[in-house]
Amino acid sequence: MTRVWNPDNGDGTYTNPVLYADYSDPDAVRVGSDYYMVASSFSNAPGLPVLHSKDLVNWTLVNYALKKLPAPRYEKAVHGCGVWAPSIRYHEGLYYICFPMPDEGLYMCTAADPCGEWSEPVMIYEGAGRIDPCPFWDDDGKAYLVSGVAKSRTGYKSVLHVQEMRPDGMGLIGEPVPIFDGNENDQVTIEGPKFYKRNGWYYIFAPAGGVKTGWQTVLRSRNIFGPYEYRVIMRQGDTDINGPHQGAWVDTVTGEDWFLHFQDVYAAGRIVHLQPMHWANDWPVIGIAAEGNEYGEPVRTYRKPDVEGTGASHHDVGDKDEMITGNAADSNQTSLDRDKEHQELKWQWNANHKESWGNMLHGRVTLNAIKRDSVYGDIPNLLLKKWEAPEFDDLFELDLSDLEESDEAGVISMGMEYGLVSFKKAGGRLWAVCVYGWQHFGRILCESTEERITDIVELPSDIKTIYVKYVVERTGSRDLNSNEKDFPEETVSIYYSLDREEYTKAIEMKSVPGRWVGVKYGVFCVSDRMGSGGKAYVT
């Protein structure tokens, strides 16, 4: 069943989503014939993923803008905090990423090459509560920033602000001006604003109505500080693409307009869709509008963008060489020559990385056994990656030959409910330990975690290599918001084998996402004692 989602149908059409992976709050920019996308990364490190495409359908993860999150607290896992919705822009030879950390402030970093080294982030606003910033450079050389607010930090929501920004993007000028209050306009929870200009109009694209049940709104004004009029430009309508939420307007070299946004599918997170877009009386319409409607509805399958031969793209966000097309899970399976460097980019740590934790080299992961002083879900050196298909399996080969007494290594499925199997050396013996965990969140932070060991099995003490299979299967559907739209329900199972032939089921659980993120899964190596010197190797 090992599969990776492929949206390109190979016949000039594509099927949404273009990314069946948790790249939430996407923003994108075109420079020449190249598209670059960024997305939220929360408390995982490295942060701020950068993806590249030539055709808006096939995307490759090429970089991270942040090696570490710029605050000391992220030496530990701080689930749901960290890097929220970023924006990416290009101005006078530099790429800019502006990103919020809702408890710390707003930051800016730059790069001449988005695939190369990004500058250390500069805090352009210090303080909690401002989120979803997007910079804009006007024709007269002046610069501005639009942003939203997080109710969890400020006590109110649904208000957008515009503030003048230094032309170099490295600071703000004056005070933020409130330009739209969604509480007064049936646009509650308006957030994620993106700034543009066209035909003398200033436009702010922003979703409203909530992640799972909302819609896309656009504001426009002849004056950057307003007043702004507004219109809903895309709704879910009769489709099964709920949300549809927060994204980016981009064009092609041939003059077409397109819109990238996400859909929340619960456990798999917030997956990315591509919609056609057109203009009517200086208002955008996203998706396909039914007769008489000013708004569009999302498409599932559509023709690919006309990029006029600017170069072929290939889909490189998965880890396996079997691809499934978006509209036919059992057809068009293809082998791809995968770049190991790109595969290593798929991994993120549960907190800011320390060199003492280990490394990834030539497709092999070396994990050092650091002392465990927390529940498993808070281990900072969890090495995790995203789901990248509706159903899939992944096989890990764990080399335990260098584990020492009191060391353990294993595989975890990480969400607000998690499960893991760990292989521990204790008393001169080797044990398989199965654990389930449940995180309980308050307004902002995880306030407590329950863990329960469900099984302990003694294994032959001379075993050096164990094979662990991680399996995700669609087993039904669930209703999360009483609007009669079904969300996928998946079962996660973890099996282990001593010979790669007979497997024992260690974990079976219904999937539950993490705090604002989809389920991640991966590996770890820890110890009951400091400085054990033990290691585990993963391929």
Instruction: Please identify every residue annotated as catalytic.
Output: 25, 191
Question: Edge-to-edge, what's the strand order for the sheet holding 47-53?
Answer: 27-31, 34-38, 47-53, 60-66
Give how far the C-alpha of residue 217 lies from the chain's centroid of Cα atoms, to the nearest Å.
22
For residue 17, whether the previous peptide bond is cis, meaning omega lies within 30 degrees of 0, is yes
Residue 39 CA to residue 53 CA, distance in Å, equals 14
Q: Between the CA of residue 325 and those of 4, 13, 121, 367, 390, what are the distances in Å?
A: 9, 11, 38, 35, 11
Q: Give the other-Cβ count within 10 Å of 426's Cβ.
A: 15
Q: What is the largest CA-CA distance in the chain?
A: 76
What is d(CA 75, CA 80) in angstroms, rounded to the nearest whole number?
14
Question: What is the DSSP track for 375-427?
Answer: -GGG-TT-EEEE--SSSEEEEEEEE-TT--TTEEEEEEEESSEEEEEEEEEET
What count of Cα atoms within 13 Å lies in the side-chain half-sphere of residue 360? 18
Read off φ and ψ for residue 343, nearest 5 degrees.
-65, -35
Bin 33: left if φ > 0, else alpha if -120 < ψ < 50, else beta.
Answer: alpha
The one-letter amino acid at 379: I
* List of residues 6+ apart from 325 with CB closer than 8 A: 6, 7, 8, 9, 10, 15, 331, 332
Return the SS3 of 184. Answer: helix
Q: How far apart are CA 447 and CA 404, in angstroms?
A: 33
Beta bridge partners of 400: none
The number of angstroms, rounded, from the C-alpha of 474 to the middle of its chain's C-alpha atoms is 21
Give dist(CA 388, CA 324) in Å, integer. Answer: 11
The Cα–Cα gap between 37 and 430 comes to 45
Count how many Cα atoms sit within 13 Å of the Cα of residue 536 in the half-sphere of its side chain: 31
Q: Where are the alpha helices (DSSP H) in 45-172?
A: 151-154
Spatial neighbors of 518 by CB under 8 A, at least 6 apart, are: 21, 22, 267, 268, 269, 270, 386, 387, 415
Rounded CA gap, 271 and 326, in Å? 13
